[in-house]
A and B are shown apart, each in its own frame.
Chain A
Amino acid sequence: MEAWSRFLDTFFNWEVIERYFPAIMKGVVVTIEIAAAVVVTGTLLGLALAIVRTFRLLAVNALIVVFVDMLRALPPLVLVLLVYFGLPNIGINLPSFAVLWLVLALVLAAFAEEIFWAGILSIPKGQWEAARCTGLGFLGTLVYVVLPQAIRLTVPPLTNRTIAITKNTALGTVIGVGEILNQATTAQSFSGNATPLMMGAIAYVILFIPVVVLGRFLETRFAWRRV
């Protein structure tokens, strides 16, 4: 009984919850803002890159592949620190919010480009040829025939990748973005109590469990690969 009440006091302290609830909620708002900005800009940039790649310009495509590979191979935290501490020294000052957004959007764009490109490649050549025969131009074929089919295939892998990258908003705490984890660790050091960390963890679970479940649903619904 003694141990139980001490556990509650440490991780579910009502007084601490009341005091830091507004701070954690502020973090939730910031996390949602960054996540939304990253998802929109990242997927759109990824789609744009995949479309540019269909023109098959050798030099441009080589650049895209190098960009995509590098961002897929580098840990996001390395990029965050590099941009955050590196750019000011060459005269570019970005707020930490913008640094996190920029890095995560570029990482998502790289993964999204790869997924969209695989989707476009998986559309049989006959679809291109048939569409061109009806008099559609290259762009018309791409926009009206190929992309609608390709994007359907990309939904499950793209959803899962997007969730994984959105969770990286927690990295913002390292450079002082006031998202959930940052609010929680600050509150924890002020209160000398682990409750804020528990609140932060719960906030993430409430935010992300629905998307994780949605991702699994989409995966079975649109089953990719295995035909």
Chain B
Amino acid sequence: MEAIVQQFFNLGIMERALPLILAGLEQTIVICLLVIPLGLIGGLTFAIISLSRLRIVRWPAMAGIDFFRAIPPLVLLIFIYAGLPFAGFRPSPMLAVAIAFFLNTSSYYGEIYRAGIESVGQGQWDAARSTGLYGYQTLAYVVLPQAVRNVLPDLVSNTVEVVKLTSIASVVALPELLYSADMARSVTFNSSPIVLAAAIYLVMLWPIVRLISRLERRVAA
């Protein structure tokens, strides 16, 4: 018991690691503010393209979505960070993270938007068009608001996944929350900094996870 407290809940070590970990938290928030809007916008774009009536446009978009959903994000990130320099393009860790996350999260958000748009009945399109709205106006004012409402739990739950996923940026030495905690761990030979980081993730995400459970149950019922 004593050993567990010493090793995982050592308040002295946590206190010393705190400034470093808070700086990491700041980086994590910066990454989130960068990649979540990028993914939401990219996903919407992918979804609209993949619903196009033109096969030549639709198929590459769907293939792209499937391709980037099949590749683990860490593989994508390492490929961009460690592979592209061989081709003469040397992205900074932040740029590599932004590109990898854009490709990965856009595909996931894209699938969700697509399911949402498909869940809105054809009658809605027809009715909106017959009132004189253009196609893009129908999409923006009639279909999307309903589509987003239908898939809101999935959008929120995917956003939680994106926030959790930012932890893989530590692998390319971007000093975010987990990277800072792991630095502190390797200096102190003690796991308490990682427990502290875990606690911070929990404080950020637990309320949202609870909310998702309730949203999902309401829709399912």
Which residues from chain A contact B178 at a C-beta distance below 8 Å? 75, 77-78, 81
> Would you call B209 and A72 a contact (CB within 8 A)?
yes
Q: A75-B167, A174-B171 are in contact. Are A164 and B3 (CB under 8 A)?
A: no
Q: Which residues of A contact B (CB under 8 A)?
A: 7, 10-11, 69-70, 72-79, 81-82, 85-86, 89-91, 114, 118, 121-122, 164, 167-171, 173-174, 180-181, 184-185, 188, 193-194, 197-198, 200-201, 204-205, 207-209, 211-213, 216, 219, 224-226
Q: 23 A-B contacts, Cβ less than 8 Å apart? A: A10-B87, A11-B87, A73-B160, A73-B164, A73-B202, A77-B168, A78-B198, A85-B185, A89-B189, A89-B191, A90-B7, A118-B217, A167-B71, A173-B74, A180-B75, A185-B82, A194-B84, A201-B75, A205-B67, A205-B71, A207-B70, A212-B66, A216-B111
1/0 per residue B136-167: CB within 8 Å of A? Answer: 00000000000000100000000011001111
Q: Is the CB of B197 closer than 8 A to any CB of chain A?
A: yes
Q: CA A13 – CA B205 in complex, angstroms?
A: 44
> Would you call A204 and B167 a contact (CB within 8 A)?
no
CB distance from A64 to the nearest CB of B (A): 12
Q: Which residues of B contact A (CB under 8 A)?
A: 3-4, 7-8, 66-67, 69-76, 78-79, 82-84, 86-87, 111, 115, 119, 150, 160-161, 164-168, 170-171, 178, 181-182, 185, 189-191, 194-195, 197-198, 201-202, 205-206, 208-210, 213, 216-217, 219-221
Q: CA A226 – CA B166 in complex, angstroms?
A: 32
> Would you call A197 and B79 a contact (CB within 8 A)?
yes
Contact of A167 (CB < 8 Å), options: B8, B72, B219: B72
Contact of A164 (CB < 8 Å), options: B82, B161, B190, B210: B161
Contact of B194 (CB < 8 Å), options: A70, A81, A180: A81
> Would you call B220 and A121 a contact (CB within 8 A)?
yes
Q: CA A69 – CA B210 in complex, angstroms?
A: 7
> Would you call A212 and B69 a contact (CB within 8 A)?
yes
Q: A74-B201, A201-B71, A225-B219 are in contact. Are A188 and B4 (CB under 8 A)?
A: no
> Would you call B78 and A90 a contact (CB within 8 A)?
no
Q: A75-B178, A77-B178 are in contact. Are A70 and B202 (CB under 8 A)?
A: yes
Question: A86-B8, A170-B75, A216-B66 given. 17 additional CB < 8 A pairs?
Answer: A11-B87, A69-B209, A72-B160, A75-B164, A75-B178, A75-B201, A78-B194, A82-B198, A90-B7, A118-B216, A121-B221, A194-B83, A204-B70, A205-B67, A205-B71, A208-B71, A225-B219
